[in-house]
Amino acid sequence: MTVNDDDRQFVAEYVLGTLPAALRLMTRTRISDEPDIADVARMWERRLAPLHELAVPIAPPADLWADIAVSLIPPPIPLTPEEEEEIKKGLPALQDAFAVPNKAEAGDNEPVLAEPLGDMAPGVQARLKKWRWTAILLGVALVGGGSVFAYREWDRYTDLHYFASLQAERSAAVLVRVGVRDGDILVRPFLDPAPAGQTYQLWLVPDGQPARSLGTFSSGFTARSDILRRLGPKGAAKAMLQVTLEPGSGSDVVPTGEVLYSGRLLPE
């Protein structure tokens, strides 16, 4: 098991339910993507699930089962007028081709669900995932006001880990977690691939100072940065993170592209 204590704590709190929305989102992606993290999640689920025995059973709304059942039964496949005409003519092959299934089959016209997406084409999966994340992240943005609460304890906070949701408008697109003690960076983007010949680049913008590159990325990555280590908690409190689209393998010195996403660091 290669999961460090910090991550084990996060996963346990994910299962327990105490993580705020953005951290919960990031942890869920890691459970989905990293088998070792998923193993820890399963372990905590087994440990905590027995508490359900003490929960009070309550009769659900009378119409809920009907509501669920309707969602499980695939609707008939609509036919074009030409197809209906062909069927009226009695072409057996077409009748077979457009037959309405008698029972629900896995994945057939089912409601949009979070998991799994394994039966779909990769392009469809990517689009569905993107929209799913967009929906979830919009929700995160809606509850973002709650993060103001975190500032109350800003000066007294000692754990030295920060979280940022970099977004344009209200749609978050890049989640970043940094530790200013060790300079750790964990980035989870929810973006389309960068255009050919360009790359996304993450920048740290300390208060009143020029931007400094924290690295380029096309997918999630982890890294360590001396820049973050030197920043310290006070610097982190006033710093911004930005994402730009840069030509080639990225810009060496200053951002040259437009800022696509930006956000402040919030203490966890």
Partner 1 sequence: MGAVARHGTGTAVTRSERLRPIIADVADRRLDAMERLYQLSSPKLYGLCLRILRRPELAKSALKTAYLKIWKGARTLPADLDPLYWMVCIVRESALETARTNEDAGESWEPFEVEEPAEDPLAEGTHSDQLKRLLACLGTLSEERRRMVLLAFYDGWSREALSVYFDAPMHTVNTWLKRSVAEIDEQLSK
Give the footprint of partner 1 on this chain (CB under 8 A).
Answer: 8-9, 12-13, 15-21, 24, 42, 45-61, 64-65, 67-69, 71-73, 103-106, 110-111, 113-116, 136, 139-140, 142-143, 146, 149-150, 152-153, 156-159, 267-268
Output phi, psi for 160, to 5 deg.
65, 20
69 C-beta neighbours (distance < 10 Å), count? 10
What's the first-to-final CA gap in the chain, in angstroms?
Answer: 25
Task: Decide: helix, strand or coil at residue 223.
Answer: strand
Of the pair 138, 240, the CB lying nearest partner 1 is at 138
Where do we find the tokens 């389309």? 192
Of the pair 22, 186, the CB lying nearest partner 1 is at 22
Of the pair 8, 229, the CB lying nearest partner 1 is at 8
Of the pair 90, 111, the CB lying nearest partner 1 is at 111
Shortest distance (Å) from residue 225 CB to partner 1: 24
Shortest distance (Å) from residue 130 CB to partner 1: 17
Where do we find the tokens 């920060």? 162
C-alpha closest to that of 160 among 263, 10, 7, 268: 268
Exposed, middle or buried by CB within 10 Å (0-12, 13-18, 19+), for 265?
A: buried
Of the pair 19, 214, the CB lying nearest partner 1 is at 19
Of the pair 139, 232, the CB lying nearest partner 1 is at 139
CA distance 175 to 196: 23
Shortest distance (Å) from residue 204 CB to partner 1: 24
Shortest distance (Å) from residue 51 CB to partner 1: 5
Q: Which residue type is seen at 241? A: L
Exposed, middle or buried by CB within 10 Å (0-12, 13-18, 19+), for 209?
A: exposed
Of the pair 210, 232, the CB lying nearest partner 1 is at 232
Alpha-carbon distances, residue 36 vs 30, 33, 161 (angstroms): 9, 9, 22
DSSP one-letter code for 4: -
Which helix (H) or strand (E) segment holds residue 47: the answer is: helix 35-48
Shortest distance (Å) from residue 34 CB to partner 1: 17
Shortest distance (Å) from residue 233 CB to partner 1: 12
Of the pair 4, 80, the CB lying nearest partner 1 is at 4
Shortest distance (Å) from residue 67 CB to partner 1: 6
* Interstrand relation of 171-179 and 221-224 (parallel, antiparallel or unpaired): unpaired
Shortest distance (Å) from residue 191 CB to partner 1: 20
